[in-house]
Amino acid sequence: MAPKRRTRKADAMSAGSPLETEPLHDAPASPAQAESSGMPAGDSNVAEVLAAQKGARRRPRDAPADAAAEDGQQQRKRRGRIGNMAGEPSASTRDNQGLSAVEPAEDMLTDSLDGDRSNGEMLMECVVKIFCTHSEPNFSLPWQRKRQYSSTSSGFITDGKRILTNAHCVDHHTQVKVRRRGSDMKYVAQVLAVGTECDIAMLTVEDPAFWLGVEPVKFGVLPRLQDSVTVIGFPIGGDTMSVTSGVVSRIEVTSYVHGAAELLAIQIDAAINSGNSGGPAFNSKGECVGIAFQSLKHEDAENIGYVIPTPVMEHFINDYERNGQYTAFPALGIEWQKMESPFMRTALGMQADQKGVLIRRVEPTAPVNKSLKKGDILLSFDGIDIANDGTVPFRSGERISFNYLVSKKYTNEEALLRVLNNGKVESMTVKLAQPVRLIPVHTKGRPPSYFIIAGLVFGQVSVPYLRSEYGKEYDFDAPVKLLDSMMHAMADKPDQQVVVLCQVLAADVNIGYEEIVNTQVHQVNGKPVKNLSDLTRQIEGCKDPYLRFDLEYNQLVILEREAAHAATKDIMSVHCIPKDRSADLLPETNGI
């Protein structure tokens, strides 16, 4: 068997430790694991925080973290770093080193935000605490699930008796409950839609008592740099509400870790912690301008958090209202290269006044595959000229990646492109569709597929599968061939999958193959394997005396067909496996 090679992420930094952007960790179900270093015991004063932003200056970064309070006032807010990934069991003991303290709580609301005390109260009434029970699939043993665990996070009430939170807060949920501020009652919630790419989930509560006396939040416009923001939620360290404040540091197209999409995001310096996921970010007018969802972890970075802005939230809501479900953000379906080199522009026939980006590859499954090709130069999108660095005008004095224009579209909508093809400018209308990934980033709540024959366990490669097999550093420890497929390969057909021999359950019938793990299957009895369903049909329909599997690295597995089928039941009994295949591969669904 070929030696295992190791690789780094393609976009990792060349020196120093790489930057890691991660979803905010859902807080433990119990506050008992919090640090005993000034965590709040009651609701923070949201009205005071919002009102103070208009005239007060932020404390310098180098000020003492635990500065003493003066003249009997509450201690100042403490700053620190954000915690770990979402989705870990909340029952386990956690190392809270690096978690920042949250905003100190106030016992009483001040008179007002802009003179009216009720404004601050109304903002806090819109924020709810979410209690979720998760049951994740076991991707390494796909016939069973992991032990369930609980987590808490934040959310807020919007129009139409809906609640918005993060998708990763309700990932693989079995039960979701919500509780309003100041209430002792938890209400069962239903998940209406989950947007994995944008990391937003929509909930509702059927009990009308939950909605009594509550006003939904109002969305504000996209904030400007240095605008004040306030994040409200239920982070680790206590059971009650907490408020943190800061300013907008950056607005740009950013990688959303949960769904691996490139969408608009707001970077803020507010001290947000585990459990803030799904909490709203308000501007100084009390309007919601975003949802807290992920943070940056790096030894040289402090207090870098990200919120999902209102354009992304409104896209998600409008998509659900149009289609009755979430249909994803569309993609153009190309890979492009900057054209900042004047020599490249001249050699490819561009005029001095022309700007654009070079198309390197076109996804075979994308609708634009019929219109664009490798070597074309994309000059504009929907009438907006694209610069040589791939940016377009955003706001006064700002530019942003043209991918932002694509993300504003909806699935199956059309876009007008202007393209330079062999020195000629052409205009064309193309349809935008949901991208098809050869190795999916997310299973969208579906259990993993598998098939077992003679102790050979076959499965489909996905990012959750790689993470299950190789841990959080899967992009370093997984086989380089699979990583290359994950990062660079494109699907030729919408149903194409990377099928691997996951493991071999040792038995006499498969002796000699026990050490083969996570190796791609290319052919069965000389026929190419398109996906796991195709592999199952080929094995079930084989009439040859032997089953022959051609694997990656020129490995070969040969089994005696009748003996393989006869031994399968006994092997499954030994390992307590109820069925030889997942539900989606059963004859009534697989067409066998």
509's tokens: 């019938």
d(CA 272, CA 78): 11
Q: Using CA atoms, how far apart are residues 410 and 495, in angstroms rounded to an integer?
A: 22
The candidate with the shortest Cα–Cα distance to 332, out of 423, 425, 422, 430, is: 430
Round to whole Å and give the CA distance between 333 and 561.
42
245, 274, 277, 380: the catalytic one is 277
Do 100 and 81 contact (CB within 8 A), yes or no?
yes
Indicate which residue of 134, 168, 258, 565 is catalytic: 168
Q: What's the CA gap between 558 and 572, in Å, rounded?
A: 20
Number of DSSP helices (H) and strands (E) in the chain, helices first = 11, 28
Query: Quick one: tokens of 574?
Result: 């030994």
CA distance 466 to 468: 5
Contact status, residue 307 vs residue 23, Cβ threshold 8 Å: no
Query: Does the annotation mark 168 as catalytic?
Result: yes
Q: Which amino acid is at 279?
A: G
Distances, alpha carbon 210 to alpha carbons 64, 133, 156, 190, 294, in Å: 42, 20, 13, 13, 28
Rounded-to-integer distance, Cα 125 and Cα 282, Å: 13
- Measure the CA angle with vertex 440, ends 434 and 442; round to 5°: 90
277 is catalytic: yes
- Give yes or no for a contact between 165 and 278, defined as CB atoms under 8 angstroms apart: yes
- Selecting among 26, 43, 199, 534, the annotated active-site residue is 199
C-alpha Rg value of the chain to the nearest Å: 27
Q: Strands, E, within 374-508: which ranges?
A: 377-381, 384-385, 391-393, 399-401, 414-421, 424-431, 450-453, 456-460, 499-504
Cα(37)–Cα(235) distance, integer angstroms: 14
222 DSSP assignment:
P
Look up residue 247 and give its DSSP letter.
E
Q: How many residues does the chain have?
A: 592
Instruction: Give the E-state strand segments of 61-218 in sequence order.
Output: 127-134, 149-158, 162-165, 173-180, 187-195, 200-205
Closest CA to 49 of 100, 113, 102: 113
Q: Which residues are catalytic?
A: 168, 199, 277
